[in-house]
């Protein structure tokens, strides 16, 4: 079974040649294909992410703590060990088709107690992919002669027969500006032979998985149905592995009085990894045994301190905490002392802030020595000398915000609420949730929502980003203040951090992280 396909989508929408290490992360690599769970990689700290953009890590080898439930002897047995992953080849996202290989190896990490199982497994897969716009289609197949799998459980040694076994995976991945979504199907026939007795035990697995990765969280969940058939018994069960990674902001107030800043946020990176199983058909000798259970891998948190902006002039302001969070995470930049919450936020300022919130990759403007850089901006009012220029171009290329008439972006014009929510839903890639030709919201002023924003605003209400005021109004054409903008951008981040997790982990496999 497939390790969290998601543990990897690190690089969002890169339109240049990537090595397989980045590709593999983007495409599903951190769960063995046979139903186990691993600790996975953490979301990068802010500093690590910044360094990775400057010096991409080309290391193609990974090793993780790994656990798997074995059902081949009629009773569940747990295995604990390591999962190693090695990728080979290169991926050029400018090509429509391509391939690479990935090897998964599972081995015991130490001596194992008799009540546990041991696994020694290695399989190399040929991964073929094709690019269709923002989507990538992938298939995985074991390379003949590369598959070896030996399991020892309750004193029995079971060896895989690779000549009659097969395993297949098909995946579709969709890269939206702020989130990479994917789903896949798994199907396998695994035939094991008891080395001592020659008994043949056949295991069939089929199911699906869903996952996503954003800058603030990532989740992958599986629901796999399996049957085991032996000479005198059979079993039917379901396994539901899940992994979630997220970032949490915690504000810590300093204890000393004589200190130059009263407190700051710290960024906490968390991983939650678990597997649940339910047995629906039992062997006769297992009637009195439990028919369900779960296993988990404990993972320690990691931390990074964030800057402490001076916002004492905002003390008591309703938007103080939202503004502090965004300056601490570099979603808002510049001197915070000039940030006026009651002033209208401009179209350009809002787009730049959302671009930073979703960590959309930007291309800095080169600055050749000795001569001025030619202005290649497609917007007359956003020359490439403006500091916001790379963010506006990245947002434009990703389809978050377009220009208007006469090749103008209207950077310095105030943005209204309906356009702000439209941009955020596009950032999440969830516009398709509002497919109704004439979506209608429950806001009292629904009729005032412009047709060009109606679809996204209806989605924003559906997922809880857009909420009515005390009187049930949305105020679609009202200019957005900087304080309000800080609030709804924080809500966007919170949805990526918590809302998506709930939908995937609790909604699919019922694991409430």
For the chain, 513 residues long, give each residue's pLDDT as a single digit of tens. Answer: 333 332 332 222 222 222 223 333 443 445 566 789 998 888 888 888 777 766 554 546 788 999 999 999 888 999 999 999 888 776 666 778 988 888 889 999 765 555 678 999 999 999 999 999 999 999 999 888 899 999 999 889 999 999 999 988 999 999 999 999 999 999 999 999 999 999 999 999 999 999 999 999 999 999 999 999 999 999 999 999 999 999 999 999 999 999 999 999 999 999 999 999 999 998 887 777 789 999 999 999 999 999 999 998 898 899 999 999 999 999 999 999 889 999 999 999 999 999 999 999 988 776 665 555 666 678 888 888 888 899 999 999 999 888 776 788 999 999 999 999 999 999 999 999 998 888 999 999 999 999 999 999 999 999 999 999 999 999 999 999 999 999 999 999 999 999 999 888 776 656 555
Q: Are residues 446 and 321 part of one domain?
A: yes
Query: What distance in Å separates the CA atoms of residue 214 and residue 247, rounded to the nearest whole number?
Result: 10
Q: How many domains does the chain have?
A: 2
Q: Is residue 46 part of a domain?
A: yes
Q: Is residue 485 part of a domain?
A: yes
Say if residue 459 is exposed, middle or buried (CB neighbours under 10 Å; 0-12, 13-18, 19+): buried
Helices 347-357/389-397 angle, 10° precision: 70
Q: What is the pLDDT of residues 438-459, one digit of tens each?
A: 899 999 999 999 999 999 999 9
Q: Are residues 347 and 203 part of one domain?
A: no
Q: Are residues 443 and 314 part of one domain?
A: yes
Query: What distance in Å separates the CA atoms of residue 242 and residue 496, rounded to the nearest whole number?
Result: 17
Q: Is residue 261 part of a domain?
A: no
Unique residue bearing structure tokens 């939650």: 272
Q: Are residues 477 and 335 part of one domain?
A: yes
Q: Are residues 469 and 329 part of one domain?
A: yes
Helices 482-494/347-357 angle, 10° precision: 20
Query: What distance in Å separates the CA atoms of residue 280 and residue 295, rounded to the nearest whole number?
Result: 18
Q: How many CA atoms lie within 13 A of 388 on its CB side?
A: 23
Residue 179 near residue 168, CB atoms below 8 Å: no
Show the domain range for 345.
309-497
Unique residue bearing structure tokens 């310095």: 412
Q: Is residue 111 part of a domain?
A: yes
Residue 458 near residue 440, CB atoms below 8 Å: yes
């Amino acid at each position: 079974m497939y390790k969290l396909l998601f543990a990897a989508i690190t690089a969002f929408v890169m339109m240049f040649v990537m090595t397989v290490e980045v590709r593999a992360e983007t495409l599903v690599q951190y769960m063995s294909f046979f139903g186990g769970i691993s600790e996975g990689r953490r979301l990068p700290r802010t500093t690590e992410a910044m360094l990775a953009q400057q010096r991409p890590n080309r290391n193609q080898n990974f090793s993780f703590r790994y656990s798997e439930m074995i059902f081949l002897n009629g009773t569940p047995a747990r295995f604990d060990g390591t999962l190693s992953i090695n990728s080979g080849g290169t991926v050029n996202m400018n090509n429509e088709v391509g391939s690479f290989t990935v090897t998964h190896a599972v081995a015991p990490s130490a001596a194992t107690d008799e009540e546990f199982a041991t696994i020694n497994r290695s399989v190399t897969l040929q991964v073929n992919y094709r690019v269709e716009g923002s989507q990538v289609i992938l298939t995985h197949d074991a390379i003949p002669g590369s598959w070896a799998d030996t399991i020892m459980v309750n004193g029995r040694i079971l060896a895989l027969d690779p000549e009659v076994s097969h395993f297949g995976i098909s995946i579709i991945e969709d890269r939206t500006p702020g989130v990479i979504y994917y789903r896949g199907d798994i199907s396998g026939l695994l035939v094991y032979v008891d080395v001592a007795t020659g008994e043949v035990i056949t295991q069939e697995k089929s199911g699906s998985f869903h996952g996503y990765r954003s800058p603030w969280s990532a989740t992958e969940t599986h629901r796999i149905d399996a049957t085991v058939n032996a000479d005198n018994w059979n079993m039917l069960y379901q396994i539901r592995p899940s992994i979630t990674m997220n970032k949490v902001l915690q504000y810590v107030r300093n204890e000393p009085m004589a200190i130059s800043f009263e407190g700051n946020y710290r960024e906490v990176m968390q991983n939650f990894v678990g597997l649940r199983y339910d047995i629906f058909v039992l062997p006769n000798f297992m009637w009195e045994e439990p028919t369900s259970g779960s296993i988990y891998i404990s993972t320690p948190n990691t931390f990074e301190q964030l800057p402490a902006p001076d916002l004492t002039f905002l003390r008591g302001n309703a938007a103080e905490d939202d503004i502090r969070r965004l300056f601490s995470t570099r979603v808002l930049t510049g001197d915070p002392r000039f940030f006026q919450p009651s002033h209208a936020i401009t179209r350009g300022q809002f787009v730049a802030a959302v671009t930073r919130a979703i960590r959309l990759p930007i291309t800095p403007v080169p600055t050749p020595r000795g001569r001025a850089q030619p202005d290649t901006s497609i917007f007359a009012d956003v020359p490439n000398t403006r500091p916001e220029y790379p963010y506006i171009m990245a947002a434009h290329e990703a389809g978050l915000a377009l220009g208007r008439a006469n090749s103008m972006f209207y950077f310095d014009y105030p943005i209204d609420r309906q356009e702000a929510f439209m941009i955020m839903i596009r950032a999440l890639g969830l516009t398709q949730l509002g497919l109704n030709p004439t979506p209608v919201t429950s806001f009292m002023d629904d009729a005032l929502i412009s047709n060009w924003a109606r679809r996204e605003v209806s989605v924003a209400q559906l997922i809880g980003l857009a909420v009515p005021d005390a009187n049930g109004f949305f105020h679609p054409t009202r200019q957005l203040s900087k304080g309000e903008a800080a609030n709804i951008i924080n809500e966007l981040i919170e949805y990526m951090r918590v809302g998506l997790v709930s939908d995937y982990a609790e909604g699919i496999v019922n694991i409430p992280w």
